[in-house]
Amino acid sequence: MSRHAGREPGRLSRWWRRRSLRTRLTVIAATAIAVSVFVSFQVASELLELELQNTAENQLRADSRVLATDAERAGLAQIPLPPYSGSSRLVRVILPDGSTRTPAGQPALPPVSERAGRVAQGGVADLMESDDSDEDGHLIYTLRAGDGAVQVARVVDDSPINQFGFGMLMIGLLCVVGGALVGRTVARTGLAPIDRLTAAAERVARTRDLDADIPDEGGGEIRRLIQSINDMLAALRDSRRAQRLLAEDAAHELKTPLTSLRLNIELLVRLDRRGTLDHALPAESRTRLLNDLGAQVAELSTLAAELTEVARGDVSDESTELLDLADVVVAAAAQARSRVPDIKVALDLTSVWVSGRPAALQRAVLNLIDNAGKWSPAEQPVQVRLRAEGASAVLEVDDAGPGIDAADAPRVFDRFYRADSARALPGSGLGLSIVQRVVDAHGGRVTIARSARGGALLRVDLPTAAPTARITRRTAGEDTSAC
């Protein structure tokens, strides 16, 4: 029994969720009207019953006072009682000995109650009581008169209330039907903008035409919903445009290394088939060609990794944690040295705590060091400094290279942008773009300026996450460990 009762709400809830919004509004409107009519009927019935009872009681009191006046004037035993005329008014005289007198032909009244007897004996002045002992209920008023009492009674008639209830029932049914029709009409009219919005969204999903904005109509919540969907479409347009540009730029950037790689491989294959490989390419030339092939493969691998990083955007499974940015910089410097053994990195670090994704931050620092390493002369190390300034962690990476031209500075963080002076250097043009994206995702800012050594100075500002401990780490030359 309890198990079945526990399933019913879930079943009703599932049925309700499967209904359309129009049906729900119609049912809600009809239910609201039905409840209102029922409550109104109950209140009106109570008020009507109370009013009828007050009227009947007042009438009984008035008739009893007239009868009591006649009884005191003529005496209880001699007061004339005209024959019963068939009205709903019934009278009775209670004599001192407890006997009663009633008009001839009048229907019998219920026996004199004990409380009415006390009125006749002078215990109380009057009494209003109802009696439902027989099929017809009576409302009886007893009034002290002389040595006894007089009673005036009326048969309780529920027909006015029943007629009123039947009328209210019919009106209620009409109101419920009318309410359902009105609710249906209101739902259809009110949901018309949503229907048009749904049709427009389905058209966009079917045609994949993100350039078709949904017309703004209605007001309030409907307008906000349309504006939100248009904003979403605009974001999708921007995302698709960015994907298309990324694919076009990637195809362009991949063309050159792939072409060079294909030509070198074809040369080796052609010479090998002719059997002239050893004569046409001396050992020194073969070594140089194989080194070029290795460098081109490494460049393609780097480009593929950076394209994957850019294509992922801000989507990452890596969780945010509280970390010491100095540890991230040390790890990035060690990774840069392992990739390019000839690079020299000088560290001047202060422990600064930030909230971020360790791998993403390490990739950004590594890109900064790699970029600086391409420009720094072999005898000049890349200088990396980390300190706290107010509520910011400041990371600076500078080199002793030629610096960045003022014309190139605004575009150094663009995807695939490479200055004319950097065309001959390895790289994809994505490193600094990844740096900016990672820094932006962590609520920071990256800027570029000229360093005191004449090269480029890239500065990263990140919000700190905890009071910084003043622990200084300095490393010069090729040593990237912390002291």
Lowest mean pLDDT among 15-29, 357-371, 397-411: 397-411
Predicted local confidence at residue 193, as pLDDT: 72
Q: What pLDDT is stored for residue 395 in this prediction?
A: 93
Q: What's the confidence (pLDDT) of residue 423?
A: 42
The better pLDDT of the pair 235, 384 is held by: 384
Q: How far apart are CA 385 and CA 393, in angstroms?
A: 11
Q: Where are the domains of the chain?
A: 73-157, 216-312, 321-475
The per-residue pLDDT for 313 is: 56
The lowest-confidence range among 18-32, 48-62, 328-342 is 18-32
d(CA 130, CA 27): 44
| pLDDT at residue 11, rounded to an integer | 76
Mean pLDDT of the 378-399 span = 89
Q: Which of 98, 105, 94, 104 is closest to 140 using CA atoms?
A: 94
- Per-residue b/e over 354-390, b at no fewer than 16 CB within 10 Å? bebbbebbbbbbbbbbbbbbbbbeeeebbbbbbbbee
* 392-398: strand order across its sheet: 445-450, 456-463, 392-398, 382-389, 345-350, 472-475
On the question of pLDDT at 366 being above 80, the answer is yes
Confidence of residue 255 (pLDDT cuts 50, 70, 90): low
Mean pLDDT of 171-193: 76
CATH class label, 73-157: alpha beta
Q: Does domain 321-475 have CATH number 3.30.565.10?
A: yes
Q: Decide: 161 and 45 in contact? Cβ < 8 Å.
A: yes
The whole-number pLDDT of residue 308 equals 63
Tell me if the domain spanning 216-312 has CATH number 1.10.15. no
pLDDT of residue 189: 73
Kindly tell me if the per-residue pLDDT of 448 is higher than 80. Answer: yes
Residue 307 burial (CB < 10 Å; 0-12/13-18/19+)?
Answer: buried
pLDDT at residue 330 in the model: 93
Higher per-residue confidence, 64 vs 467: 64
Dihedral angle computed from the Cα positions of residues 105, 110, 112 and 114, in that order, rounded to the nearest 10 degrees: 180
Of 57-61, 204-208, 237-241, 349-353, which one has max mean pLDDT? 349-353
Residue 449, pLDDT > 90, answer no
* Confidence (pLDDT) at 463: 92
Mean pLDDT, the chain, whole residue set: 76
Q: pLDDT tens digit string along 195-237?
A: 777 777 777 777 777 776 767 666 667 777 778 878 888 888 8
